[in-house]
Structure formats: structure tokens, C-alpha cells
Amino acid sequence: MSVCISIISSVRAFEFEVHMSAPNSDSAKPKHGRMDWIDATRGIGVILVILVHSIIPNINPITLHVSSFVIPLFFIFSGVTHNADKHRNNIKRFLKTRAKQLLVPYFCLYGVVLLLFVPFSSVFEFPLTPSQLAFWFFYGSGPPKLTLHLWFLPVLYFGMALFVGLDYVTKNLPRLFRWMLVGALSYGAIFLKDSFEPMLVPWHLNAILLSAAFIIIGNEARHYRELDAWSFESTAFDALALAAGTSLLIVLSRMNGFVDLAVDNYGSSIWLYLATGTLGTVMVTLATNMALEASETIRRLLLRVGKHSQEVYEAHPLVFYLVAPVIMFVGMLLGWLIPVEPLGWFIRFISATAISITFTTRFIRANSTLRFIFTGRR
């Protein structure tokens, strides 16, 4: 963890030197808003999630490397955006607001799945029965190898709740103690996984501990950087750091292997997962800052996706179930068979990204019922 502190501190020190030596002119100011980098990073993050979900269960270099950091990215940025000084005064209100945002969509969407599963199970052959799906709902994890993407919502909520509690208890202690908590939470996650194997840990309790660890890392980054973009404020240095960091990330993620937190898979080492999750998040932010400066079109797209990242995440798997039937139907109309694979993952990725963004911005935000189901707000 000391490596993370030194990286963040060195970036801040270098940025200060660049700022002091740079001329005071309008041209030196960033062209985008101060908070845009956060929304844009989340936008890239959710696009990468869709990419991984488009490819699995196949494991290839894309899924191996991207899985090493893409979920931690959202945990870390939950810590970055959390104003501890503000929310310590009213923890109950914070938890209530977050419950509406994360738990209401979880139960609503899972309920929709259960309601649709019953009639469709009599028409199509599924690997689960309705009663089995209901069991896994109450168990809070699983089913094995078929875990719904909705698992992320309660894990993030309870991870934030745990972090808020730990933050309140340790507010007067030295900040080094928080890094000790990262280690303790990680050991707790290992203990829970080992205790329940070969079963999944109920309600992803181990993932909740690990999410709290990443949230602490993100909140510590906020302490050192506040809400300033994680950038050297120099395209050349950003590109150099991105190349070096990505090379290291590839090595570490290859050492750790494929990661799937939804089924308690941290890879070969939870400590490597902490390292790749943190390093990968930093690399995405560097790439994001470069993308924001490169093109106004890219900037608008990333901000659009990032500001609706939760809804896009919740909606994107629905498209996957439509891709194969649509391709087969089009093939029959044209009189020839269109192969679903090996390009099926690419079609799933493009269609899920485009349709999810359109569905989110055109329908969810415009309809109060859909807005409540997907965001907990009316």
C-alpha cells in the first residue's frame, strides 16, 4: 500500500512543480470541467465491463487483463467521490440515500427476473428451475457460474456502509491505520472464502470486505489529491506513465490470472488483485484525461455514459439474450446462415453498448417508473 501512497504523492508533487513553472494563461487551463474526469472514467469503466461480459465465459487476454481492475475501479471511485467530513454528521441519511440508489434497483430488477423466469421456463430450457433461482436469491450469492450482474449493487452498498462505519470510528486515528485496515479487510475476505469453500460466500460478504478495502484506497487518494484529476498535466508524461504502468499491469494481471469477484475468484492472490485493481484504475484515469483532451466528441460520449453508468450497467445484459436470435432471424430472411461465433462477442459488445446507452438516456430518464426501477428515484 505504501507504493500507492508514493505514486499518488509523487504525482501531486510533480503537478505542483509544473503548475508553478507554467505561464499564467488561459491556454494552460483545462478545457473540461473539474469533475468531468470522474464521470468520464466511470464511462470507460462501464464500457469495459460490457466488453468483458460480452466475451465470458471465454477467457482470453482481454478478459484476463481487464477483469484485474474493472470492478475495483468503481469501488475506488466510490471512495474518491465520498465526502467523509460531510457525511460523518448524518450517516443515517447517507445510508438511506445510498439504499434508494443501489438496493431499490437490486430488488426491483431481481424481482423482474423472477417474474419473467417463471413463464419462460415452461417454454425454454434453462439450467435452473424457478425454485432454484429463488433459493439463490435468498442465499444472496450465485447461482454458481450463472451469477446475475446485479450482485454488484448490494456489494457496493454494504461496502460503503462498512467503510462509513470504519471511517467514523477511525476519524481521530493516524491515517496509516486506514492502510492497516486495507490489509485486515483483505485477510477477512480470504478467511470467509476459505471457510465456505466449495460453496459461495452468502451475500458476498467477502466481496463486501474487499470492496471496503478498495473504497478506503479511493478515499485516501481523495485525501492526497482532493478532486483534482490524476494527471501530470502533461500529455507526454501522462503517455509515458500510461505506457509504463500498463506494461506493469499486464505482467501482474498475467501472474494473478482471471478474476471474477461475483464467484469469489480473486485470482491466484488477493494481494495481486489489490495491486492490479489500484494500478489499473490509475491507468484508466490517465487514459481518460488524454481522451478528454483529444476530442470533444469522445468527451461528450464518455460523459454521457459516465453520468448514467449505473443504468447502463444494469440494462446491458438484456441485449445479450437478443443478439443470437436476431442474427439467426436475419440469416433466415436473407436465405443464408450468419455465424454467431467467433465474432459474436464483438456484435454483443457493440449492440449492448449502443442499445444500453440509448435505452438509458431516451427511456429510463424519461419514464418515472423505469427511473425508479433502475435508479431508485422518481
Q: Which of 58-62, 115-119, 231-235 has the lowest mean pLDDT?
A: 115-119
Cα 271 to its chain centre, rounded Å, is 19
Is the per-residue pLDDT at 344 higher than 60? yes
Q: How many CA atoms lie within 13 A of 147 on its CB side?
A: 24
> What 3-state DSSP class applies to 116?
helix
How many angstroms separate the CA atoms of 166 and 190, rounded? Answer: 19
Domain tally, the chain: 2
Same domain, 175 and 46: yes
Calculate the average pLDDT of the chain.
Answer: 85
Cell, residue 193 = 472464502
How many angstroms separate the CA atoms of 90 and 324, rounded? Answer: 49
Asked if residue 350 is part of any domain, the answer here is yes
Same domain, 262 and 216: yes
Asked if residue 23 is part of any domain, the answer here is no
Average pLDDT over residues 298-312: 92
Same domain, 346 and 373: yes
Which amino acid makes up residue 297? T
* Beta-bridge mates of residue 118: none
Which amino acid makes up residue 31? K
Same domain, 111 and 198: yes
Same domain, 282 and 344: no
Domain-ending residue, one of 247, 269, 295: 295
Domain-ending residue, one of 242, 271, 295: 295
Q: How many CB atoms lie within 10 A of CB 44?
A: 20
How many angstroms separate the CA atoms of 60 and 54, rounded? Answer: 12
Same domain, 266 and 364: no
State pLDDT tens for residues 191-219.
999 999 889 999 999 999 999 999 999 99
State pLDDT tens for residues 32-50.
566 889 999 999 999 999 9
- Best CA proximity match to 316, nearest among 359, 276, 281: 359
Print the domain residue range for 328.
308-378
Structure confidence at residue 340 (pLDDT):
54
State pLDDT tens for residues 132-148.
888 888 999 888 877 88
> What 3-state DSSP class applies to 148?
coil
- Best CA proximity match to 47, nearest among 355, 349, 347: 349
Same domain, 224 and 285: yes
Residues 264 and 193: beta-carbon distance below 8 Å: yes
Cell, residue 304 = 454521457
Phi/psi zone of residue 157: left (φ > 0), alpha (ψ -120 to 50 degrees), beta? alpha
Residues 74 and 149: beta-carbon distance below 8 Å: no
Domain-ending residue, one of 260, 295, 330: 295
CA dihedral of 211, 215, 218, 224, whole degrees rounded to 10:
-140
Q: Which of 23-27, 64-68, 279-283, 293-297 has the lowest mean pLDDT?
A: 23-27
